[in-house]
């Protein structure tokens, strides 16, 4: 991927790294940011491996991250960036259902979640909010989380997929995209045996009888959330 400049073009600009597996999305975000006098794109990446290299090389102030990547997974990338001894802020920009992924992203270490459908109008505001150290979420998601806080300690209705761990959810999503166990293992840089274990955990948690039922359930979920 491209490294646009090692240092900000003008002193005082916040440095932004864009991580998304679609070149057109990266270009669109770059064009929006380029119009802002206080922001600059310092690099871009399509996968988690390249993103971590760019983080170490460029010291961005903020990283914009998609959930689905060519290699790796957005939630795992957020956790790995968080382990760096650097004050890097993270904003998720994704097509995935905010109701399921936003809270997971915040727990992983991100400070905001923005749906791509709203990115053109809201991404600059989201970037500035996160750079100021504030959490950025849609009004609906903020109300949802506040509602959970108010009801803390009381039984809450949960989507069945919410019982999955972040890694299990990533595997479930890739199964729904039609990836084989071997392809998932390669993408997440794990062993086939580990992925098979995750498959069994998912079937158990979602009360699915066999691999065929798991595949249908995962494919339906991806269709409904893409």
Q: What is the pLDDT of residue 148?
A: 56
Alpha helices in the chain (DSSP H): 23-34, 48-58, 74-83, 98-108, 119-131, 139-150, 166-176, 181-188, 192-205, 211-225
Q: Where are the domains of the chain?
A: 14-142, 160-225
Answer CATH for 14-142 from 3.40.190.10, 3.40.50.300, 3.40.50.2300, 3.40.600.10: 3.40.50.2300
Determine the average pLDDT of the residues in 4-25. Answer: 77
Task: Please tell me the distance from the alpha carbon of residue 222 to that of residue 45, in angstroms, as a whole number.
Answer: 24
- 201 exposed, middle or buried (CB, 10 Å; 0-12, 13-18, 19+)? middle
Task: Please tell me the distance from the alpha carbon of residue 76 to that of residue 105, in angstroms, as a whole number.
Answer: 9
Confidence of residue 154 (pLDDT cuts 50, 70, 90): very low
Q: What is the pLDDT of residue 145?
A: 66
Q: CA quadruple 16, 21, 23, 24: dihedral positive or negative?
A: negative
Contact, 55 vs 17, CB < 8 A?
A: yes
Confidence of residue 84 (pLDDT cuts 50, 70, 90): confident
Is the domain spanning 160-225 CATH 2.60.120.1440? The answer is no
Given a cut of 50, whether residue 86 has pLDDT beyond it is yes
Task: Please tell me the distance from the alpha carbon of residue 177 to that of residue 187, in angstroms, as a whole number.
Answer: 13
Residue recorded with tokens 């998304």: 20
- Please report, for residues 67, 75, 186, 187, the alpha-carbon distance to residue 193 in angstroms, rounded to integers and kept in the order given: 24, 21, 12, 14
Task: Please tell me the distance from the alpha carbon of residue 193 to that of residue 122, in angstroms, as a whole number.
Answer: 42
3-state secondary structure of 104: helix
Given a cut of 90, whether residue 72 has pLDDT beyond it is no
Q: What is the pTM (predicted TM-score) of this model?
A: 0.68
Given a cut of 70, whether residue 160 has pLDDT beyond it is no
Higher pLDDT, 114 or 213: 114
Task: Please tell me the distance from the alpha carbon of residue 14 to that of residue 127, in angstroms, as a whole number.
Answer: 10
Q: What is the pLDDT of residue 4?
A: 58
Q: What is the pLDDT of residue 10?
A: 41
What's the mean pLDDT when you consider all of the chain? Answer: 85
Determine the average pLDDT of the residues in 145-162. Answer: 52
Given a cut of 60, whether residue 24 has pLDDT beyond it is yes
Task: Please tell me the distance from the alpha carbon of residue 174 to that of residue 183, in angstroms, as a whole number.
Answer: 9
3-state secondary structure of 115: strand
Q: For residue 53, give both structure tokens.
A: 């290299």
């Amino acid at each position: 991927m491209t490294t646009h400049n090692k240092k900000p073009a003008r002193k005082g600009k916040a440095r932004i790294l864009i991580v998304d597996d679609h070149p057109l999305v990266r270009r669109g975000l770059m064009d929006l940011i380029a119009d802002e006098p206080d922001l600059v794109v310092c690099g871009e990446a399509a996968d988690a491996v390249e993103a971590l290299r760019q983080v170490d090389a460029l010291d961005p102030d903020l990283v914009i991250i998609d959930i689905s990547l060519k290699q790796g997974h957005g939630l795992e990338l957020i956790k790995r960036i968080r382990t760096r001894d650097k004050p890097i802020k993270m904003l998720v920009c994704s097509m995935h259902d905010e109701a399921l992924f936003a809270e997971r992203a915040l727990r992983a270490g991100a400070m905001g979640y923005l749906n791509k459908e709203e990115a053109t109008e809201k991404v600059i505001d989201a970037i500035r909010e996160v750079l100021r150290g504030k959490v950025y979420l849609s009004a609906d998601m903020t109300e949802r989380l506040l509602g959970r806080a108010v009801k803390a300690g009381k039984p809450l209705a949960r989507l069945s997929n919410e019982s999955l761990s972040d890694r299990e959810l990533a595997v479930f999503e890739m199964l729904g995209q039609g990836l084989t166990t071997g392809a998932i293992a390669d993408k997440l840089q794990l062993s086939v045996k580990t992925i098979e274990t995750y498959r069994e955990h998912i079937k158990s948690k979602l009360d699915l009888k066999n691999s065929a039922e798991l595949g249908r359930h995962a494919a339906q979920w991806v269709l409904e959330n893409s």
